[in-house]
Amino acid sequence: MSRTSAIQPFFDEATGTVTYVVHDLATRSAAVIDPVLDFDFKSGRTATRSADRVLAHVAGQGLQVDWILETHAHADHLSAARYIQGKLGGRIAIGERIRDVQAVFKKLYNLERSFLPDGSQFDHLFHDGETFRIGETEATALLVPGHTPADMAYLIDGAAFVGDTLFMPDVGTARADFPGGDARTLYRSTRRILDLPPQTRIFVCHDYPPAHRGAAWESTVGDQRANNIHVRDGITEEAFVALRTARDATLDVPALILPSLQVNVRAGQLPPAEENGVRYLKIPLDALPRKAEPAPRA
C-alpha cells in the first residue's frame, strides 16, 4: 500500500530525544510528536533552538499543524508543546492515564491547588485504540504502559511512534523504574507493538547510541523481533523482567527528571509566575525514592 504521509525526524543531541513531524501528503495537515524545549539546568534558562527547527520545517513545507502528540510525560526533557502550539496552533494530546501521573507529581511537588490532576491541561486525552486523523491519514493511539502508566504509541500510516517502550534493537527497551512503571507491564506492551505486521516501521523517542555508531531512530517490527537485545522473539516475560529490573537498579536518576516532570504534567506550560513576574521550578529534597541498594547476600 502506498504511503499517504511523510515523516521528518529531528534529533536533539543534548537529551537524545527524537521529535517527529508527520504530514499528510494530500492535505499538508501535520502532527508534531514529542517536541523538546531546551533547558540548561545550571543557568535555569530555557531555549527554543530544538523547537525552532520544527517551526522552520513546518513553514518550509507549508504545513498546518493539527496535533501536538506526546507519547508520555517525559522525565529527560521539557516539552515544547505549548511553545509550538503558541506559534502554530494544533491540539496537544496525550494518553488519558496522564491523570494518574499528574496525581503522583502534584503530590511530589506540592503543586498549587488550582492544578487539577484531571488532564484538563491537555486539549485531548486518548483512550486505548482510539482512532484519529491527520488530514486524510488514519492514525490510532495504542496504550503501551510500563515505562510510565500512561505511555501511548501512535500508529500512523504503517509507522509506529513507540515513545519510550522499544529503543533501537542494539539498545533494547526503556527503563521501567519510574513512579508507576513496571517491567512486566512494559514487556506486555512491547509484545503488543511486536504483534504488528513485520514490515511496520518503528520510530523511537530516544537513541543512546553505542560508541561504534551514530544516532539512529528507525527500525521495523521484523528487525526488532529478530534482534532486540531485551525483547527479541524467544526472550520470555520472566527473563525480561529479571534483566530489566537488574539493569534499572544500576541506572542513575535522569539529569532533568525534576525540572521535566513539573513542566510536562502541565502539557509543557511553565509554572505560573510569582508576584515578581518570575517563574520558578521546585526541587523536592529527599523525596524521590532512594535508588535500590544492592540486595544483601542471604
Residues that bind Fe ion (CB under 5 A): 74, 164
237 — phi, psi (to 5°)?
A: -55, -45
CB of 251 to Fe ion, least distance (A): 12
By C-beta, is 55 or 80 nearer to Fe ion? 80
The residue with its CB nearest to Fe ion is: 164
- Closest contact distance (angstroms) between CB of 151 and Fe ion is 8
Shortest distance (Å) from residue 268 CB to Fe ion: 15
What the block records as the C-alpha cell of 135 is 488530514
Instruction: Enumerate residues 6+ apart whose C-beta is below 8 A from 237.
Output: 184, 187, 188
Cβ-based nearer residue to Fe ion, 216 or 257: 257
Cβ closest to Fe ion, residue 7 vs residue 144 = 144
What minimum distance in Å lies between the beta carbon of 76 and Fe ion? 6
Nearer to Fe ion, 4 or 264 (CB): 264
Residue 88 or 256 with smaller CB distance to Fe ion: 256
* Nearer residue to Fe ion within complex by CB, 55 or 150: 150
For residue 182, the one-letter residue type is D
* Nearer residue to Fe ion within complex by CB, 15 or 220: 15
Question: Could you tell me the smallest distance in angstroms from the CB atom of residue 147 to Fe ion?
Answer: 6
Residues 6+ apart with CB under 8 A from 260: 39, 74, 75, 76, 77, 78, 254
Q: Is 215 exposed, middle or buried (0-12, 13-18, 19+ CB in 10 A)?
A: middle
Find the shortest distance in angstroms from Cβ 264 to Fe ion.
Answer: 9
Q: How far is the CB of 203 from Fe ion (least distance, A)?
A: 15
Q: How far is the CB of 70 from Fe ion (least distance, A)?
A: 10
User: Which residue, 79 or 219, is less far from Fe ion as judged by CB?
Assistant: 79
